[in-house]
Amino acid sequence: MAKSATKASYKKILSDLQEHNKWFENSIPLIASENVPSPAVKEALLSDFGNRYAEGWPGERVYAGCVYIDKVEIECMNLAKKLYKAKFADVRPISGVVANLAVYSAFTNPGDVMIAPSIPAGGHISHGKKEHSGTAGLVHGLDIEFYPFDADEMTIDVDKTKAKVEELKAANRLPKMAMFGGSLFLFPHPVKELSDFLKGYNIHINYDAAHVAGLIAGGQFQDPLREGADTMTMSTHKTLFGPQGGLVLGREEHAEPIKKATFPGLTSSHHIHHMAAKAIAFAEALEFGKQYAKDVIKNAKALADALSDAGFKVLGEKRGYTKSHQIAVNVLDYSDGGKVEADLEKANIIVNRQLIPGDIKAGRNYFHPGGIRLGVSELTRLGMKSAEMKEIAGYIKNIVIEKKDPKKLAAKVKSFRKDYQKVHYCFDNKLGAYEYVKLR
Ligand SMILES: *Cc1c(COP(=O)(O)O)cnc(C)c1O
């Protein structure tokens, strides 16, 4: 009895995995932090590297058996350095959050002040305060201050930031680190405009490129390491080509503290199969990244324009809505971000609700915020262009404004998706983007 119940749950897990793939094959994936990897990246994830340990640095490992792992990791670091024109790369952090923890650990002490974007202003919870369970505050004990934010320009306010840093200094709370980058990220942050000022106070500047790493790699967003950022952290799977993982970049002088923070500080296994898959993704970005980044930004602009034409309040209007892969929409005229997210999901359109400037003051929370966020990285990688963006804006209007039946629309979405089942901007694409690989 118990045995057959176990077998049933084993089978159920595998069939749910398969169903998920089928669902995504028939959906419009618009989560800005997601992308779809190439078959080669998936192949690396299935390799035996995933069963090994390679603690330490290539050539200085703790265990034997790392001959090929060392070769791939050295190549991975070289490709990362080439892609971002950086002197030093640590490819071991297993996620963007771990990459951020590595720079917190390397360059600050608990109790130090860090200035970062607040969440409604686009910040990420890994930059957040202890009382919000933010990683920086809760795990590393940093004392967080927020940048003044300009909601019309949808970016950090340069003059008010300077004034705030002076005030903090006067109160004996000068920041040790300034964090740029975020999760709701429509326009480049003023790194160039603030870096000389911040360096005048010896403040370490880190740029969190989790969302825009692929756009930076393609030379289409901003170039933080040339604009004055000391170090740059990122996730490798949002606008970059996957797999899920992290990366830290810096100059030679940053190498030792970052290496120690990553291992033994923050990792034991660094998920070697993911490291290998990152190496492949970096090679793909070097070869195809420029065109991809251009196409992503063009698609985001096309979707934003079409949504605005459809009657939606798209944020950042003053600046043309977006210069990244993202679009943010204020949906308070119809209901709230949580309700809109759930309605769209029923029509196989996958988006996320989003806190937007003004939400916290108005008493709205993360479950029922004022906005939704859309990202076009995955649709672009599937080969979609401006015409498809217009069609998608129409579907979103059907559900949110016209309150049409989501079931009927889901069927439309399914047929719309038929021609976009391969991953583009990669060397090999024999396997379908969501094709389920059965090994049993
Ligand atoms: C997504 C995100 C992260 C976290 O990355 P993970 O790889 O999911 O750990 C960190 N910072 C920012 C700005 C993000 O958007």
For the chain, how far is it from start to end, CA to CA, in angstroms? 24
Q: What is the pLDDT of residue 43?
A: 98
User: What DSSP state is assigned to residue 350?
Assistant: E
Return d(Cα 343, Cα 408) in angstroms, integer. 13
pLDDT digit string, tens, across residues 156-169: 999 999 999 999 99
Residue 187 within any structural domain of the chain: yes
Q: What are the residue ranges of helices labelled H in 85-157?
A: 96-107, 135-138
Q: Helix axis angle, 337-346 relative to 406-417, nearest 10°?
A: 60
Distant-in-sequence, close-in-space partners of 224: CB < 8 Å, separation ≥ 6: 180, 181, 191, 207, 209, 216, 232
Report how far apart, in Å, the C-alpha atoms of 182 and of each of 8, 162, 233, 242 are.
43, 20, 11, 18
Return d(Cα 306, Cα 292) in angstroms, integer. 21
pTM of the predicted model, to two decimals? 0.97
Return d(Cα 113, Cα 122) in angstroms, integer. 19
Q: What is the pLDDT of residue 120?
A: 87
Q: Are 382 and 423 in contact, with CB atoms under 8 Å apart?
A: yes
Residue 353 within any structural domain of the chain: no
CATH code at 98?
3.40.640.10
Query: What is the β-pairing status of strands 113-116 and 143-146?
Result: parallel
Residue 263 within any structural domain of the chain: yes
Residue type, 92: R
270 in contact with ligand 1, CB cutoff 6 A = no
Residue 21 within any structural domain of the chain: no
Look at the block and give the residue holding tokens 């670091």: 77
Q: Which domain holds residue 81?
A: 42-284
**Sheet of strand 177-180, all strands in order from the earlier edge strand to the far edge:** 88-90, 246-250, 231-235, 204-208, 177-180, 113-116, 143-146
Q: Are 120 and 358 in contact, with CB atoms under 8 Å apart?
A: yes
Of the candidate ranges 149-153, 234-238, 324-328, the one whose mean pLDDT is the lowest: 149-153
- At 369, is the secondary structure helix, strand, or coil? coil
Rg (CA), the chain: 22
181 in contact with ligand 1, CB cutoff 6 A = yes
Q: What spacing in Å lies between the alpha carbon of 191 and ligand 1's midpoint?
A: 19
Residue 91 within any structural domain of the chain: yes
Closest Cα to atom 1 of ligand 1:
210
Average pLDDT of every residue of the chain = 97
Residue 379 within any structural domain of the chain: no
pLDDT digit string, tens, across residues 32-79: 999 999 999 999 999 999 999 999 999 999 999 999 999 999 999 999
| Pick from 45, 436, 124, 55: nearest CA to 264 | 55
Q: What is the pLDDT of residue 16?
A: 98
Look at the block and give the residue holding tokens 């389920």: 436
CB atoms within 10 A of CB 361: 8
Is residue 389 very low, low, confident or very high in pLDDT (cuts 50, 70, 90)? very high
95 in contact with ligand 1, CB cutoff 6 A = yes
243: cis peptide before it, omega within 30°? yes
| Pick from 136, 154, 137: nearest CA to 358 | 154
Is residue 3 very low, low, confident or very high in pLDDT (cuts 50, 70, 90)? confident
Q: Is residue 252 a known part of a binding site?
A: yes
Q: What atom of ligand 1 comes closest to residue 100's alpha carbon?
A: 10
Q: What atom of ligand 1 comes closest to residue 244's alpha carbon?
A: 7
Residue 237 within any structural domain of the chain: yes
Which of 124, 125, 212, 266 to probe ligand 1 with, by most ligand atoms within 8 A of CB?
124
Q: What is the pLDDT of residue 2?
A: 62
pLDDT digit string, tens, across residues 264-302: 999 999 999 999 999 999 999 999 999 999 999 999 999
Q: What spacing in Å lies between the alpha carbon of 246 and ligand 1's midpoint?
A: 9
Query: Is residue 1 scored above 90 in pLDDT?
Result: no
Query: Is residue 113 scored above 70 in pLDDT?
Result: yes
Report how far apart, in Å, the C-alpha atoms of 320 and of each of 51, 255, 291, 303, 399 are.
48, 39, 21, 12, 25
Look at the block and give the residue holding tokens 């690396």: 44
Indicate the length of the chain as a whole number. Answer: 440
How many structural domains compose the chain? Answer: 1
Q: Are 116 and 189 in contact, with CB atoms under 8 Å apart?
A: no
246 in contact with ligand 1, CB cutoff 6 A = yes
Residue 428 within any structural domain of the chain: no
